[in-house]
Amino acid sequence: VYIINVTWSDLSSQIIYRRYSKFFDLQMQLLDKFPIEGGQKDPKQRIIPFLPGKILFRRSHVRDVAVKRLKPIDEYCRALVRLPPHISQCDEVFRFFEARPEDLNPPKE
């Protein structure tokens, strides 16, 4: 689980918790919604950042994998919010970064 400090344009901030699978879901939604910006027709036109890939691992390596992904996940989030407004301010991105009821009682693992 990744802990993200979200600061909105009105300078309000909140802490949210997201699993890697939620980042992956967001990435798939963005690539489906924005095929040109996702580089599907011409890879040179891709502006949607790459998400660190899924890694197969044994249960005992979960923490190591999460730690290794920390910097790439941070870079992914920063690149995402710097995209043109039609992507960075789309519903999917807003929904991902909005606080959810489960953010009040975050996962323990």
- Please list the pLDDT of the chain residue by residue as tens digits (109 residues): 888 999 999 999 999 999 889 999 999 999 999 999 999 989 999 999 999 876 655 555 666 766 778 888 999 999 999 999 999 999 999 999 999 988 887 666 5
Measured torsion, CA atoms of residues 22, 18, 83, 38, in degrees rounded to the nearest 10: -20
Report the pLDDT value the prediction gives residue 62, as an integer from 0 to 100.
64
| pLDDT score recorded for residue 34 | 97
For the record, the structure tokens of 109 come out as 């693992």
Report pTM: 0.83
Give the E-state strand segments of the chain in sequence order: 2-7, 13-18
Distances (CA, A) of 82 to 19, 39, 74, 102: 22, 17, 13, 27
Q: What ranges do the domains of the chain cover? A: 2-104
List Cβ neighbours of 71 (8 Å cut-off, separation of 6 or more): none
Q: Please state, in angstroms and rounded to a whole number, the distance separating the CA atoms of residues 46 and 38.
A: 5
* pLDDT of res. 38: 95
Q: What is the CATH number of domain 2-104?
A: 3.30.1520.10
